[in-house]
Amino acid sequence: MKNIIPSVKGTRDFYPREMSIRTWLYGKARQVSESYGYQEYEGPLLETIELYAAKSGEELVKEQSFVFPDRSDNLITLRPELTPSLMRMVAQRQGQLHFPLRWWSYGPFWRYERPQKGRSREFFQWNIDLIGEASPEADAEMVAVMASFYKATGLPPEEVRILVNNRRLMDGELNTLGLTPEQRPQAFRLIDRRDKLSPEKWRDYALDLDLSPGQFDQLVALLENRELWKQSDEMVNFFRAIDALGVSDYVQYDPQIVRGLDYYTGTVYEGRALTPNIKRALAGGGRYDNLLADVGGAPLPGTGYAMGDVVITLLLEETGNLPQELDISPAPVLVTIFDENLLLASYRLAADLRRTGLNIACYPVPAKLGKQFKYADRIGARAALVLGPDENAQDQVTIKNLINRDQALVPQNEAPQLISKILAGEESS
79 versus 400: smaller Cβ distance to RNA? 400
64 versus 94: smaller Cβ distance to RNA? 64
- For residues 173 and 56, the answer to whether their CB atoms sit within 8 Å is no
Q: Burial code of 224-249, b = ≥16 C-beta within 10 A, e = fewer?
A: eeeebbeebebbeebbebbeebebee
Residue 97 CA to residue 110 CA, distance in Å, equals 29
Q: How far is the CB of 244 from RNA (least distance, A)?
A: 26
Q: Which three-class secondary structure state does DSSP give residue 132?
A: coil
Q: How far is the CB of 164 from RNA (least distance, A)?
A: 15
Residue 112 CA to residue 188 CA, distance in Å, equals 25
Binding residues vs RNA (CB under 7 A):
1-2, 6, 9-10, 57, 59-60, 64, 81, 111, 113-120, 123, 125, 189, 192-193, 196-197, 259-261, 279-285, 306-308, 310-311, 338, 368-371, 373-374, 376-378, 384, 386, 388-391, 398, 400-405, 407
10 versus 416: smaller Cβ distance to RNA? 10
Residue 263: partners with Cβ closer than 8 Å, 6 or more residues away: 55, 288, 290, 291, 294
CA distances from 107 to 40, 183, 261, 305, 313 (A): 11, 37, 21, 14, 15
Residue 337 CA to residue 405 CA, distance in Å, equals 19
Q: How far is the CB of 120 from RNA (least distance, A)?
A: 6
The sheet that has 39-40: what strands, in order across it? 39-40, 101-110, 122-131, 302-308, 281-287, 267-273, 160-166, 251-253
193 versus 421: smaller Cβ distance to RNA? 193
118 versus 302: smaller Cβ distance to RNA? 118
Q: How far is the CB of 412 from RNA (least distance, A)?
A: 13
Q: How far is the CB of 403 from RNA (least distance, A)?
A: 6
Q: How far is the CB of 89 from RNA (least distance, A)?
A: 19
Helices first, then strands: H and E counts in the chain: 16, 16
Residue 221 CA to residue 383 CA, distance in Å, equals 66
188 versus 253: smaller Cβ distance to RNA? 188
CA distances from 382 to 267, 355, 407, 424 (A): 51, 19, 12, 10
Q: How far is the CB of 4 from RNA (least distance, A)?
A: 10
176 versus 428: smaller Cβ distance to RNA? 428
Q: How far is the CB of 148 from RNA (least distance, A)?
A: 17
9 versus 93: smaller Cβ distance to RNA? 9
10 versus 107: smaller Cβ distance to RNA? 10
Residue 386: partners with Cβ closer than 8 Å, 6 or more residues away: 336, 338, 369, 397, 398, 400
Q: How far is the CB of 283 from RNA (least distance, A)?
A: 5
Q: How far is the CB of 240 from RNA (least distance, A)?
A: 26
Q: Which three-class secondary structure state does DSSP give residue 423?
A: helix
64 versus 256: smaller Cβ distance to RNA? 64
Residue 59: partners with Cβ closer than 8 Å, 6 or more residues away: none
Residue 146 CA to residue 310 CA, distance in Å, equals 16
Positive or negative CA dihedral for 145, 148, 152, 155? positive
Cα-to-chain-centroid distance, residue 19: 13
Q: Which three-class secondary structure state does DSSP give residue 30?
A: helix
Which segments of 153-280 are extended strands (E)? 160-166, 251-253, 267-273
138 versus 307: smaller Cβ distance to RNA? 307
Q: How far is the CB of 397 from RNA (least distance, A)?
A: 8
DSSP-H helix ranges across 209-299: 213-224, 233-244, 291-294
